[in-house]
Every structure is written in structure tokens, then in C-alpha cells.
Amino acid sequence: KFYSNNRKEKLGLLKGLSIAHDENVTISPLPQDVLIVWGEKDGLFLVEKAYEIEKLMGKKARLEVMKKTAHVPQMENPSEFNSIVLAFLVK
């Protein structure tokens, strides 16, 4: 049930993530720092996708991969997730 809600919006997200494989699409470097938090065991979006997105976003992107965590790191390990986000924000 968790993944069946908002199906149309989720399909849009999936479509957007496919840009990593489209050589005609470029992303302008962002002026601000960007934090990407990903679960190492994510079965929906493999961790390799996170590295592709980090590379696409440029030097201001920082990827944090949470060990033993799947698709919803903020719910699966909220303490570690919060520590990662807080460390990023105070940087």
C-alpha cells in the first residue's frame, strides 16, 4: 500500500531519474550545496543510480550512502539520517 499511493506522481519521478541515461540532457551546476541521502540496500533505486545523480549534479553535490538501509532511510534509521542532515546543515 505504501508504494501504491500517488502512482502517477511516482511514475513522473521514475521518468525524471532516467535522465542519467539521456546524453542529450544536461543539468546546470547548482550554486548551493546539495545533500543526497541514499540507502545502500534500496531495491527500488539501486545505489549506482545515486552515484550517477551525484556526478550529474556536479561538485556541490554530496552523497551519503546509509549502510543496512533501503528505500526510506529517514524512517528506517532516523537517528543516523538526522545526524547526516544536521552535519550537512551546520557545515
Of 80, 81, 71, the closest CA to residue 40 belongs to 71
The model's pTM: 0.75
Q: Which domains are present in the chain?
A: 7-90 (3.40.50.1820)
Most distant pair of Cα atoms in the chain: their distance: 39
* DSSP state letters, 22-84: -TT---PPPSS-EEEEEETT-SSS-HHHHHHHHHHH-TTEEEEEETT--S-HHHHSHHHHHHH
Q: What is the pLDDT along the chain (91 residues), one digit of tens a residue?
A: 555 677 777 777 766 666 555 666 666 777 899 999 999 999 988 999 999 889 888 899 999 999 999 999 999 999 999 999 999 999 8
